Each structure stands twice: as structure tokens, then as C-alpha cells.
Amino acid sequence: MGQIRSDVGIRSNTIGLMVPIHTDQVKGSVHSHQPSLNESLNGEVQAFLTDEDQLHTYDDLTKVNPVTPTTVLQCLQARYRVKVFYTHAGCTLVALNPFQPIPDLYTLDVMKEYHCAPQPQEFKPHIFIVAEEAYRNVKGQLEPVNQSLVVSGESGAGKTWTSRCLMKYYATVAASSVTKSQDTVERIERRVLDSNPIMEAFGNACTLRNNNSSRFGKYIQLQLDRGQLLVGASVQTYLLEKTRVSCQPDNERNFHIFYQMMKGATSEQRREWKMPHGQRFVWLPNSQRKLEEDCFHETVKAMVHLGINAERQRQIFRILAGILQLGNLNFSSSMDESQPCDLEEQTKDFLQKAAELLQVPAEELQTCLIVRMLKAGKQSVLKPCSQAECSMRRDCLAKVIYAQLFEWLVTLINNSICADESTWCNFIGVLDVYGFECFYITNNLEQLCINYANEKLQQHFVAHYLRAQQEEYVMEGLKWSFVKYQDNQSCLDLIEGSPIGVFSLLNEESRLNRTSDAKTLRFRLEKELHVNSNISWDKFSKEPHFTVAHYAGKVNYQIQGMVEKNKDPVPAELIKLLQKSEDPLLHQIFSDKENESPNSKGLSKVTVVSKFKNSLESLMKILHTTTPHYTRCIKPNPDCKPLTFKKEEVIMQLEACGIVETIHISAAGFPIRILYKNFLQRYGLIGKRSDVKPRSRRVDVEAGGNVFLRQEVEKLLHSVLQHDEVDSPHKRENETHNSWVHCGRTKVFLTQLMLDLLEDQRKKILSRCAFSIQCCWLRYLRRKRRARQQSAILIQAAVRSWLVRKQVKRWSRAAAVIQRAWRKRRAQLKSLADAELDNAEDFVEEEEKVLNPVVMEPGSVQLSKSTKPVTVRGWPLGLALASAPSVTVSLTARGFQKIMYVMACLNLNSRRGEYKVETNQYTQELASIRAQPRGSIKLHYKRSPLLYADRQPDIKSCVTGFNEILLDKTL
């Protein structure tokens, strides 16, 4: 639904053509019937108001029957009494100001609840519904995509608070991005929100009607990228009431920022700003009042978030302090008219302080205030100013400094929060303008411009909702009887009319090189505009004035001083003085300021009215290219008392903004209208997926004529309504489907119920399609994953086999190398053994002696020429060692010897004859041969390789120089 353009209309209960006739339209052709009709209407009103307990349940005023100012007022009062402040009024939202904080009404959870709801309209009326509808319209991308939220109402009705809630909603909902870092998201959101406290501090003030009244208009564009995420914002301002700097009406205050400085500054800052405690400033009236807006620390914190460093803040506050010092300057008239005025003695100190804060020479500052420069050809003449002129120049200096500082702040804010044009494609605009104003004492040029802006917005509402839609119903073939409404076009013609209007006459007087005269202007207004019924004069009034009948009521405007304010003269010498300032910020602000002489001739000079009118026209062009969403803020009582409802105050506002007429048209009409082509583009898939057999001919949306497109639309609607009857036969028993839709010549007109039904079926079809796509996609992913797994297994097997083969080959090469090295080493050892033990001269063959048969027994040992017992040690290798030098030992490891070796290994002592067997396995640590140095002993054992070692197993032995031979075990 979010992408459909909302409009209004009226239907009849005829088949396919729905246009009920409003009671106001039935003008009695017979005069005698009028009393009976009024009595019938009064009876219906009384019957409706009888059940007072149910009045607060009407969350949409289109459900009220009958719709009259009285019934609407009673419903609003009943809802206000139970603390329900938002009510739908057809295509608009009515917001009543409670004048007190309402807990849990604008929390983050409430925002998420409305944002995540499938149908936010089913929830209680809230400003977040309007915000979410605009946001979903952008998502729908149906022309016009860009949205505008117009918040209107009187001063003090709650427009600023409503705009603040809207910005907070979008900063919260549209900035919840997962594609960007959280720091970036918070920085964008924080900067967009922090622009509010700064602009309210410098542009809002406390007035008789509102403690936080906007003294300027602003249109904030929240920039969204293709994903509908907040990427930046921009601010456009309109007509700052800079006269408030130097002139505050009775019981009103200056801009908030001055009071914030006075109440929130530290002692050090006060010394720097030359504002000691107890100092009184003429331009700060009612400073004793305490308002929640006087929060200096919040403003400073917002400046920091927007990138304004401490030094730049010091410069800003020094300039503001200098402006306050200027307000304390007073001038005394000179006795000689040829001499300039003098400063009063007690105010000279303020001049010095102002010059130091603005960093300009005090003498030049005083000269610029009391002497003016006139140009006569190429020569310049200095002329002393009168006391009134000196005060005017002082006020002009303060106003131009503050106005330029405000514009510089707006530019800085835009540079800080505005995104690059390539990063955003759509926007949602929030319009917050000054409310309609009518003061009892004085209404001047500022009030005329403010009320003119409200007239333009009211005309936009009338043209968009009340007039254009009714005319369109007639053009589309609906039987239509017009609903009467208040059209303010004649009032706009009076103010901005061309060639003759109030603004044009003001500009003519301002551009003439002469002193303005209030009576002359009044005479011209009366002469040129007397034909228009919206302007009048009080001929008995002493003060020249004129009265304009606005849509919200009559306002008396004082003519005195209006022309001078429209001229807005800025003496060139004041601009030059500020350009010479040593303050970096002040010098930067006025470096590119054009010098405009007050005596400029011709019609090229831009006046306040011309500038404001042009900026307002550019705003209206933006509104005409966007989809508007109106929120009407209502002020329940003029004293801003919490939960106080004044019927007279509310009914006047309801009648002024046309709420009752809007409810009439919205209740009986078609809020939605869509071209056939766009309708088929969006809902054509319902016909393709329905059970009704489609035509064999394909629908060409682009090339199809209106007749053919209408047939396709009717067929689609028929299938949708049939499907609804099957799904819910018991639903809406008292309603007929024919009253939900009408097909015109080029468009289809829908009620909200029909639109919800279409959107519901479209959503179901899209859900089924999305489910099918997801199934196919998941199946594709699963198959792809399986194929990749199989491929990976094959690749892994091939790689593993290759690695194994490579490793085996490496092992084979390494083994071959080791074998070759071992064989080579073994051959070397063999050669060394042969060289040591197999020397030819050590093996001289002797005649074999015949041994005793006893000795021939296996395991025997013959010891010759030995008188002492000889110790024979047996080792597993079967080697024996004789102790005598001349003893020849011959030992062959046979059966008995092997037994001896085993016994030796078991550490068993045996004795047979003159020998004994001992073991050395445990005492000597190794199996070895030890030779006692009694003579040379030659030993040979079957040419076995001998390994040489330098180790001495028996460390306790004192014998050295032995050779230890390590042999392999053979037993």
C-alpha cells in the first residue's frame, strides 16, 4: 500500500459508480423542506452524542455519522479527555497538543512496533503511522516517489515537537543498516538529530502563544539511498525573524541562545564574554523565566557532534555577547543639528566591550553608528544622524550580524549532514513553518509573511485534496455532486496578486527613493485593492492599518514601519566595518557580502517580501512534485495549560483548516486512484496466478488502449472479489464489493478496504513465488555443494596419492643413499680391522700340537707354562682372553662353551680344575675384551669387524691405555 498515492473522492451506491450526495449539497428546491431537513440532522446529531462513553473509540473521524462540526468536536474532546491525542481525519492526521510530557508514547519500542507492523493503519492513530506510510511509499517506488510531510497549525499547536518526532523516527528506522559500520550509522543519525537543538536555539523564541515558537521556516530533506537507508539530510530555511534580536514584543523573549548563554555559562566564560553576574541587558527581557529550552550544554554538545570545535564555538559566543552589548547603547541628541549625537555616559563602557568582542576599533564603531555617508556623484558626504537614526543603525548592525551568523550556521549544518548527490536518489521532506499568528496589539510585516506562508500551504491542501479530486471524479465519469469548501485563492490574490497586490505595492514603495509614509501606503492600498472583499479598513482608527480576512480569521496589520522593514537597509559603512574585523569568523561571514547602498535606484533591489515570496514559490514547486502527507496540529487552549480543552478555540481551528470538509470527502470517497497502466503493472500478477482462465491475448501495458486496459482491470478485480468471497463469506455482511471500487475512463478508484485486499493477495502471491524461488535456489545450492564436494574429494585423493608417491620416492632415494653410505663405511671399517688384526706377520702358522684327549673335549681350555690359575671370562660372543703373555688362547664356541657363556650371563660362578668363569655384564657394563699389560697379545676371531672406542667402562680401575672392542651379540 505504501506506494499508492492517496487522494480523496465521493462515491454513489449505484453499480460501479459511487457518489453519495452530501447533506450540504442537497439545497432545497422547495424552501418549506429546509426546516424538516435541519430537524432531521439535529436529531441524528443528538442520537449520536447520546452514547458519550463510546465517543473516544472513534479513531477515524470518517466513521462518525453524521459528520458535523459538533460531532467531530465532541469526539476529539472525548479522546483528549482519556489522553488520546492522535485521530485520523480521512487523509489527514489530527494531533492535539497535551502541553505536557507523555511517557511511553514516542519510545524506541513504539517506533519498532509501527515500523514492523504489516498494516500500521490497524494500530492506534499516531504520528508514526504517517511517517511509516511515507517511508513505504518510497520503498514502493511509484511516482511520485519523493514524499513531503507537511506539519501545519497555529503557533503553539505542537508543530516543532511533531517535526522532531518525525526526524527521530526516520533517523532510527532508516539508519539501521547492516551494510555499514555501526559507527558510520550512528554518526549520520546523531548529526541529523543534532541539527535540531542548534537551529531551535538560534531560531526559536518564547512568545505569548508558545514557549518554543519557530521564528523561521525550515524544510528538511532526509536523503535516502537505493536501499531506503538514511545517508544524509539538508536544511532549507525561510525568513528568519531577525527583528526579534533588537525588538521583543511585551511579555516575549529574544532567541533562546542568548538566555542559554546567560544561564549556562561558567565563570571563565562570563569573564571572556564580559557578562558579569547581575549584568542586565536591554535585549534580554523576561530573563527570570525558566524554560526547558534554556539548556546551554545540549547546544554545545550538538555543536561538537556537528564538527564545530572549541575555538569556533568561542568565536560564535563572543559575537553573540557583542550583540548583547550593542543593545545597551543609548544615544543623546546634540544641541547642534550639524553635530553628531553623543553616547550617554553610562553606556560608553558597553561600546568598548562590544568593540572588543567584535574585534573592531571602538572609534570606528561609534562613528558608523552616529554618522552616515551619502554619495553625491563620485563624492561622499558625511552627515550626522538623528537620535532615532542612530538607534536604527545600532539595531541594523545587530540584526545583520545575527542573520548572517544564522545563515553561516545553516550552511555549516548542511555541509556536515548533507550526502553526496551520487549516494542518494530519493528524499522524505519534513516541513515545519511558523504557525498562523494574530496578535492583539501589533501585527507587522513579519506576521503578514508568516500568515501568507500558511495561506499558501492551505491552498496547496485545498488544491490537492478538496478541489482537484472532485474535479477529477467528474472528468472520470463518476456522478458527482460537489462538496462545498472554503477556498482561500481570493486571499492569495490579494496578497501576492500580479500586477496589483499588497506585496507589489509594498515593493513599489520600498524601491522609491523617498521617505516612506504610512498614510500614503494606506491610500494606495485602499485605492488599488478596494474591489477585493478580503481586505478592509477601519476609517475611525488613528493608526494606519488594513485588515485581511485569512482562512483562519481576520488580522489587523499596522502599516507604520512596514515599508522600512521591507527595505531592510544595511548601511555600506557597517558592512565595511565588519569586513575589517580581526575576528576570523566575523571576517569570513562578511568577506563576500555585497555592499548595498540604501540609495540604490531602479527596481533591481531585492526586498524582504520579494526574497520570501521567491523562496516560498520554490518550496511549493517541491511540494507539487512530491506526495504530501498532512498533519494538522490543534491547540486545545490559548494558555498552553496541560489537558485543558476549550471548545471555542478548537472549533475555530477545525473550521479554518477545512477538517470537516476533508472528513466529508474522505468518508464518502475513494482515497486511492491509480492509472490503469500502473495498476496492471503492480497487480497484474494476481490475474496471472488466479484460477480464472486468462485471455489468450497477451496484455501489453505500454501499448494497450484505455478500453482494453479497463477490461483487463475489471477482470482482475472480479477475480480478486470472487476470491475474497470464498475466503471470508461471513465477513463484511453489510458491505457490498461494488462500493469498494470504480473504474473510470483512465483510472481505477479504490477504497482503503479494496486496496488492503489487493495488497493482501499480492503479498500472498509474492510470498508463494518467493518460496518457490527459495526452493529452487536451495536445491541448486545443494546440488552445487554436492558437486563441489565430490570434485574436492577427487582432487584431494589425487593430491594425496601424488604426495604419497613423492614421499615414497624420497624415502627410496634416502634409503639408497644411507645404504651406500653404510656399505662404504662398513668397507672402511673392514679394511681397518683387516689392517690391524689380519697382519700377515702376526699369523705365522705353527705346527699343530697334539693335545691331550681330555683337552680335546668341547669347551676345554689348554693353558701352557702357567703355574697359577688363569681367569677366563666368557662373553656372549665366544671370545676368551688369557692373562699370561706367553699363553696362546684358542677358544671355539661349542656346546660347553655356550653353556659357560650362559652361566656367565646369569652371573653363576663355576670351577673346574684350575679355571673359573666370571661375568662382566653387570660389573663392566659392556661385553668387552680387556688385556692386561703383561705382554703382547694377538687376537683373532673369524675376521669380524672391530669397532674402536675410547671409553673406559671401569672408571675405578687405574689401568689405562686399554683398547675396548665392541662386538655384535651372536648368542
Residues catalogued as catalytic? 155-156, 160, 210, 213-214, 435, 437
What is the residue-wise DSSP string for 722-780?
HHHHHH-TTSSTT--GGGTEEE-SSEEEE-HHHHHHHHHHHHHHHHHHHHHHHHHHHHH
**How many other CB atoms are found less than 10 A from the CB of residue 248?**
20
Q: Is 681 exposed, middle or buried (0-12, 13-18, 19+ CB in 10 A)?
A: middle
CA atoms within 13 A on the CB side of 677: 10
Mapped onto helix, strand or coil, the DSSP state of residue 235 is strand
Per the CB < 8 A criterion, the answer to whether 680 and 760 are in contact is: no
User: Do 655 and 174 touch, CB atoms closer than 8 A?
Assistant: no
For 494, the 3-state DSSP assignment is helix
What is the amino acid identity at position 23?
T
User: What is the chain's Cα-based Rg?
Assistant: 53
Report CA torsion sign: 831, 833, 839, 845.
negative
Grid coordinates given for 718: 472480479
Separation between Cα atoms, residue 905 and residue 969, nearest integer Å: 12
> Cα-flanking dihedrals φ and ψ of residue 536, to 5°?
-150, 170
Q: How many residues does the chain have?
A: 971
Q: Which three cell numbers stand for residue 161?
A: 515537537
**Joined grid coordinates for residue 140:** 514502493
- DSSP letter (8 states) at residue 945: -
**DSSP secondary-structure letter at 603?**
S
Q: How far is CA 617 from the centre of its chain?
A: 29
Cα–Cα distance measured from residue 262 to residue 257, given in angstroms and rounded to the nearest whole number: 9
Alpha-carbon distance of 27 to 37, in angstroms, equals: 10
Cell reading at 327: 543593545
How many angstroms separate the CA atoms of 16 and 743, rounded?
Answer: 7
Separation of alpha carbons 297 and 309, rounded Å: 14
Neighbours of 823 (CB within 10 A): 10
**Amino acid residing at 556:** N
**CA-CA distance, 552 to 455, in Å (whole number)?**
9
Report whether 102 contacts 85 (CB < 8 A): yes
Residue with cell 660389573: 923
DSSP SS3 for 133: helix
Amino acid at 421: E
- Cα–Cα distances in angstroms (integers) from residue 473 to residues 245, 335, 932, in the given order: 51, 75, 137
What distance in Å separates the CA atoms of residue 496 and residue 459, rounded to the nearest whole number? Answer: 13
Nearest to residue 914, comparing CAs of 865, 961, 870?
A: 870
Q: How far apart are CA 173 and CA 169, in angstroms?
A: 6
Written as one letter, the residue type at 568 is: D
Q: Rounded to whole angstroms, how far apart are CA atoms 316 and 409?
A: 10
DSSP state of 347: G
Residue type, 281: F
Asked if residues 537 and 527 have their Cβ atoms less than 8 Å apart, the reply is: no
Q: How far apart are CA 104 and CA 81, in angstroms?
A: 18
Q: Alpha-carbon distance 469 to 747, whole Å?
A: 12
